[in-house]
Amino acid sequence: MSQEPFNTDIEHDGAALMPQNGDKSKDGRKKVLVVGAGAAGMSTAYHLSEHPDKFDVTLIDAVDYCGGQAFSIPIDKERHGASWCNQGVQGGSYIFHHTVTMFSRQGYHADPCNLHVSFGKDETFWNNVFPTQLLVRHEKEVRRLTTVLKFMRWFEIFFALLPLKLVFKLFLFSEEFTNTIALPMTALFLGTGNATPEVPAIMFERLCTSPTYGMWYPSDRNTVISNKPPMIVFPKFSEFYETWRKDLVSRGVTVRLSTELTEIVQRNKKGVVVKLKPRTPMPDHHNPNGGDPDAPVGEEKYDELVLCCLADTAKKVLGKTASWKEKKVLGSAKFSDDITITHNDSDYMKKHYENFYRDDLAVADINGTDQSDRLAFAKTEYRPMYYIKMYPEDKSKLEMCFDCTNYQSQFPEKVPFEQHVFQTIYLNKDRDSKLWTDNEIAEDKIIRKDWWHQLCHSYTHYLFVIPWMMFLNAKNHTRFAASWTLVNAHEVAVMSGIAAAVDLGANYPEDLENDKFAFLCFRLYYLLTYGKWYRRHFTSKKYLKSQTTESQAAADGKSWATGLYGSVYKGPGVSEVERSAWREDIKKGSSTGNLS
C-alpha cells in the first residue's frame, strides 16, 4: 500500500490523510488515535488535551460533524416557534454531572423540566400525572408491586440479571400488567425499546427503589408512580459540539472529520497501524455508511488507539488483529436497526397516543385515596413529553415518541397542538417492522427520517459483554469508550471517554474529583470496565497538605453536589429556569413568542 500523503481537503480542520509516521511525535509525546467524534471520543480527546506535554491526539470520524448520535436539525421557525430541534439525544437527569460540567466548560447549559409521560391508548392509557381506569383494573397488582420491589431490593443478587419478563411471571403478574405498566416504565428512561422484556430485572427495580437515580422513586402503592421526575433538557447539540470541536483544535488536537477507519493492520509492541480513507462530505454532514468505496486508502501509525464506536463496528475494524476474547465479547453485543421520523402529523398522534387529559378515563379515588388534586392539576397542565404505544397485535412490542415542543426548551410555552413537532421511533426493523405504522404518517408532515443502529439492552449484554470489558481494555494498545460499555446514556459515553484518557495517563479533573457523586460514579465505572480503583489525587491527604489554600476548581466541584449523596447537580451547567433557551433564542431571533 502506498504511503504517499493524500491531497483531499477535509472540512473542519480535517487534514488530508497523512503518510505513515514514527512511533512517537518528534518531541516524545505519545501519539493517540481516537476513533469516533461522539460524546465518548470528544471526551477522550478533551481530557488527553489537558496534558499537551504528554499526548499528541488525533480525533477522526467518518461523518462530517462532531456529536455522533447527538445533533440538531433545522425546522420551520414561523410554524413551530423554534428554528431547530435536537435529534437522537434530547435530555437526561440531574445525576449527569460529567455531561453538564462539559456543557458549562463550553459555555452552554441544560434547562430543567418536570417529566410528563403518556403510556398506552384508550383502555390501556395511564401516566404519572393523574390516575386512570387501567390502574383501577389492576389495583391488586399495583399494590403488590410495591411489596415485590422491596423483596427484589432485599435479594437483589438473585434477581439482578434475570430477564424482566421472567421475574414478573415468577411473581404471577398478569401479562397485561407486565406489558402495559412495567415494560413502558423501563423502556422510557433507558431507551431499551423492544429488548425491554429481556433487560435485567435490576434495571426496573432500581428505577423504582434508588433514591439517587431512580426515575420513579418512590413507587406509589396506589398508582405505581405519582411523581413528575425532575429532568434536564440539553442545549442545541450541533452548536455545542461545534464549539467543543473548536476548543479541541485550540488545544492542539488534530480533528479530522470525513475520515474513515477501514482496518486496523497491526497492534503489537511496535504500536498500532491503521488504514484510513477520506470521505466525501454530504451537504447535511451525515456521510452514508459504505460510501466512497473507491477512495484511496493510506496507512498511519500510532502508539495507542481508543475505539469510540459501536461494538460490532469495533469488531469489524479490528479485523485480523482481533483476539479471540475481543471477538467473543464484542460479538456478544446485540444491535437493532431503528428509525426516527420527525414530523408534524398531529392526526397520527391523536390516533395512536393520548395527548391530553381525558375525563372519561380519569379516576378520582383509588384504594380509598383521594386523587382530586392531581386531576385538577392535570386538566390544565398535563403536557406529555414521552410516549409509549403498545402494539395491539403484540403488547410486548413498543413504539416510542417524543413531543419535542412540550419537552425541548427552545420552543415557546404555548403552541397549538397542530403545530407541535414530534419524533416517533420505530424499533427493530428486522424482527418487528411488520407491526410498524410509519406508513400512516402523512408524507407532507414528515420533517426528517433518521436510521439508528442501536444497542439492545438484553440481559445477555450484562452477562457476556459488560463484565469482560476489563479484560479487553488496555490490551494491545487498545481501549474502548462508548455508552454500550454500560448503558445507553450520554453520561456514560462522556464518562467512558474520561476513563480511557485516565487509563492512558491523564488526570481526572480536579473540580469533578471534589464533586463526591461524580467522583464515585467515575470510580465505579473505571473499576467495572478497567478492573482498577482510581486513586485520589486532588483530594488525597498528600495533595491537600501541599496546598496552602483551596483552589477555585475544588470549591466549585464541592458546590455542585447537592441532594442525597450529592446526586443532584447544582451549578452553571444547568439553568434554574425552565425554557431559558427559548428566552435566549427569542433575543437571537431563532425562536418566536407564544403562538397561542
Instruction: Choose the weakest-confidence range: 64-78, 191-205, 379-393, 539-553.
Output: 191-205
pLDDT of residue 194: 78
Does a structural domain hold residue 375?
yes
* pLDDT tens readout for residues 482-527: 999 999 999 999 999 999 999 999 999 999 999 999 999 999 999 9
For 139-159, what is each residue's pLDDT tens digit? 999 999 999 999 999 999 999
Q: Count other Cβ atoms within 10 Å, centred on residue 583.
A: 16
Which helix H or strand E contains 207, and what residues bound it? helix 201-209
Question: What's the predicted TM-score (pTM) here?
Answer: 0.94
387 Cβ contact list (under 8 Å, min separation 6): 117, 118, 119, 353, 400, 401, 402, 403
pLDDT band at 26 (very low <50, low <70, confident <90, very high): low
In a domain, 415, yes or no: yes
- Predicted confidence (pLDDT) at residue 528 exceeds the cutoff of 50: yes
Domain residues for 444? Answer: 112-233+335-455
Give the number of domains in the chain.
1
Asked if residue 478 is part of any domain, the answer here is: no
Whole-number pLDDT of residue 370: 96
Q: How confident is residue 195, by pLDDT bands cut at 50, 70 and 90?
A: confident
Q: Tell me what the mean pLDDT of segment 183-212 comes to.
A: 86
Reported as type and span, the H/E element at residue 444 is none
Q: Is residue 295 a part of any domain in this protein?
A: no
pLDDT at residue 25 above 80? no
366 domain residue, yes or no: yes
Residue 191 has pLDDT above 90, yes or no: no
| Residue 120 scores a pLDDT above 50 | yes
pLDDT tens digits for 397-423? 999 999 999 999 999 999 999 999 999
Residue 186 exposed, middle or buried by CB count within 10 Å (0-12, 13-18, 19+)? buried
Confidence of residue 63 (pLDDT cuts 50, 70, 90): very high
pLDDT at 2 over 80: no
Tally of CB atoms within 10 A around 463? 13
Cell 466548560 belongs to residue: 105
Whether residue 314 contacts residue 335, with contact meaning beta carbons closer than 8 Å, is answered with no
Q: Of all residues in the chain, what percent carry a pLDDT higher than 90? A: 90
Beta carbons of 32 and 303 less than 8 angstroms apart: yes
Q: Is residue 382 part of a domain?
A: yes
Q: How far is CA 249 from the centre of its chain?
A: 25
H-state helical runs in 251-397: 311-318, 324-331, 346-352, 372-381
Domain assignment present for 309: no
Strands (E), 104-165: 111-114, 117-119
Answer for the pair 44, 306: CB distance below 8 angstroms, yes or no. Answer: yes
Quickly count: other Cβ atoms within 10 Å of residue 150's Cβ: 14
Q: Is the pLDDT of residue 1 over 80?
A: no
Contacts of 585 (CB under 8 A, 6+ apart): 82, 83, 410, 591
In this prediction, residue 467 carries a pLDDT of 98
- Indicate whether 18 pLDDT > 70: no
The answer to whether residue 375 scores a pLDDT higher than 80 is: yes
- What pLDDT does 188 receive? 77
CATH of the domain at 172: 3.90.660
User: What is the full DSSP assignment across 263-283?
Assistant: EEEEEETTEEEEEEEE-PPPT
Q: Quote the pLDDT of residue 384.
A: 98
Asked if 510 and 557 count as a contact pair (C-beta separation under 8 A), the reply is yes
Point out which residues pair with 138 in neighbouring strands: none
Domain for residue 229, yes or no? yes
Q: Label residues 66-91 b or e (16+ Cβ within 10 Å = b).
A: bbbbbbbbebeeeebbbbbbbbbbbb
For 269, counting Cβ atoms within 10 Å of its Cβ (0-12 exposed, 13-18 middle, 19+ buried), the class is exposed
Where residue 190 falls among pLDDT bands split at 50, 70, 90?
low
pLDDT tens-place string over residues 88-112: 899 999 999 999 999 999 999 999 9
Range of weakest confidence among 190-204, 255-269, 556-570: 190-204
Give the pLDDT of residue 457. 86
The answer to whether residues 101 and 93 touch, using CB atoms and an 8 Å cutoff, is no
- Report how far apart, in Å, the C-alpha atoms of 332 and of each of 164, 199, 458, 467 are: 19, 15, 10, 12
Q: CA–CA separation, 429 vs 434, rounded Å?
A: 8
Q: Does the pLDDT of residue 5 top 80, yes or no? A: no
Task: Report the chain's C-alpha Rg in angstroms.
Answer: 24
Residue 297 pLDDT more than 50? yes
For residue 396, the model assigns a pLDDT of 92
- List, in sequence order, every beta strand (DSSP E) within 202-289: 230-233, 254-256, 259-268, 271-278
Average pLDDT of the segment spanning 382-407: 96
pLDDT at position 221, please? 94
Rounded mean pLDDT of 108-135? 98
Beta bridge partners of residue 59, listed in sequence order? 34, 255
- The full length of the chain comes to 596
pLDDT at 227 over 90: yes
What is the pLDDT of the chain when averaged over all its residues? Answer: 94
Q: Where are the alpha helices (DSSP H) in 37-96?
A: 39-49, 77-80
The CA distance from 492 to 521, in Å, is 10
Share of the chain above pLDDT 70, in %: 95
